[in-house]
Amino acid sequence: MLSAIGPDVGVGVVTGFWFIVFGLGKMRATPSGGRRAVPTSGLASALRRLRGVLEVLGGLGALALVAVAFVDDLGGQLPDMSAIGLMLGLALAVLAGWTVVEAFLHPRKWVQLVLALAGFALAVFYAGFR
């Protein structure tokens, strides 16, 4: 059973949880007052929340594909999901790339930029393992 856990399962689990956590972070409401308040347009906040929802769904999809791959490695007779995993990885890479561009264009916060680049690299690795 433990022999079925390979690098593809590890990358899939880390990618799934990464995009769930950071997607939930994007769905939070922005502060309307105080020292952390930054004026944003309604369209920008709506697109950010939509991207958060898509990242959470992509993270859940990555975890589901990891579960399917794990069951298939244990001897199940399931169809090949590698094409779906590749498309999901590429979609997550696009969402993470959007986050990188957003972190670079706004007043630069270097931690957000580094985390966005890490998410992009993780999504690309996930697509490569699929």
What mean pLDDT comes out for the span 11-18? Answer: 91
Reference 122, options 101, 96, 99, 84; nearest CA is: 96
Residue 19 has pLDDT above 60, yes or no: yes
pLDDT for position 68: 82
Residue 37 DSSP code: -
Using CB atoms within 10 Å of the CB of residue 58, give its burial: 0 to 12 exposed, 13 to 18 middle, 19+ buried.
buried
pLDDT for position 4: 61
49-72 per-position pLDDT tens digit: 999 999 999 999 999 988 887 777
Q: What is the chain's mean pLDDT, rounded?
A: 83
Identify the H or E element spanning 103.
helix 82-105
